[in-house]
């Protein structure tokens, strides 16, 4: 675990140690707006653009790399955005221990690290456990959005999501041609798009039907 960072960016940057056992979103943000998560938020381009465009939605970015997360939080602080925060820490731990079941309206996972080497692929974010965690915290009807520039990894993501009983695939969002350097989803998306890399886009909905709601029985804190 990284060393405890300075507090100069609080509350825009917080760590898992700052959080209660289960986060009460109305208390955390001071309002009852819907909450969306940005897993692996990096430098915060998606957080900034989305929180400005949708002031009626609260956004929480999660970033393992404290230095990157603090860069994103500094952008939020500079704009004094009340509806966006960055949490420094492991996304799985955050979802497993701190996010109440069925409390999140949408989850965004853009360009997760593909961990190219065969021996490192076990470190990939998307696996059965992670998809189960997404199902646990999403509200019925909530959506998962995930993009990748790596076709092989996107196929893995799609297979995991498509075959989980709690999710149904949806058509990807309409393609948007960027008009300027800040009109991309993330900084990484900008860099790869300008280099000519393809973008594979996926969207899935949390099924509201009772027969697919088996994760209701999973404890608030997983044991692995």
Catalytic residues: 113
Q: Is 90 annotated as a binding residue?
A: yes
What gap in Å lies between CA 200 and CA 136, rounded to an integer?
Answer: 25
Task: HSE, CB side, 13 Å, CA atoms: give it for residue 137.
Answer: 31
What gap in Å lies between CA 3 and CA 69, rounded to an integer?
Answer: 14
Collapse the DSSP code of 169 into the 3-class scheme (helix H, G, I; strand E, B; otherwise coil) and give the result: strand
What gap in Å lies between CA 25 and CA 155, rounded to an integer?
Answer: 33
Which ranges constitute the DSSP H helices of the chain? Answer: 25-29, 45-53, 66-79, 91-97, 128-137, 151-162, 187-194
Q: Is 219 annotated as a binding residue?
A: no
Q: Is 117 annotated as a binding residue?
A: yes
Q: Is 113 annotated as a binding residue?
A: yes
What gap in Å lies between CA 59 and CA 36, rounded to an integer?
Answer: 5
The binding site comprises: 38, 63, 90, 113, 117, 149
The binding site for S-adenosyl-L-methionine comprises: 38, 63, 90, 113
The binding site for substrate comprises: 117, 149
């Amino acid at each position: 675990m990284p060393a405890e960072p300075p507090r100069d960016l609080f509350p825009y940057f917080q760590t898992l140690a700052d959080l209660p056992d289960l986060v009460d979103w109305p208390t955390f943000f001071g309002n009852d707006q819907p909450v969306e998560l940005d897993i692996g938020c990096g430098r915060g381009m998606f957080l900034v653009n989305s929180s400005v465009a949708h002031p009626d939605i609260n956004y929480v970015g999660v970033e393992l790399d404290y230095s990157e997360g603090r860069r994103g939080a500094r952008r939020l602080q500079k704009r004094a955005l009340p509806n966006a925060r960055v949490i420094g820490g492991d996304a799985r731990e955050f979802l497993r221990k701190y996010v109440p079941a069925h409390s999140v309206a949408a989850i965004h996972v853009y360009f997760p690290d593909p961990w190219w080497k065969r021996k490192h692929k076990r470190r990939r974010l998307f696996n059965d456990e992670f998809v189960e965690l997404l199902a646990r915290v999403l509200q019925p009807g909530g959506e998962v959005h995930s993009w990748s520039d790596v076709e092989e990894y996107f196929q893995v993501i799609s297979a995991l999501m498509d075959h989980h009983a709690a999710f149904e695939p949806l058509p990807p969002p309409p393609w948007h041609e960027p008009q300027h350097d800040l009109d991309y989803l993330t900084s990484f998306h900008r860099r790869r798009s300008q280099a000519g890399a393809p973008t594979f886009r996926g969207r899935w909905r949390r099924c509201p039907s009772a027969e697919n709601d088996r994760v209701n029985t999973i404890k608030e804190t997983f044991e692995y």
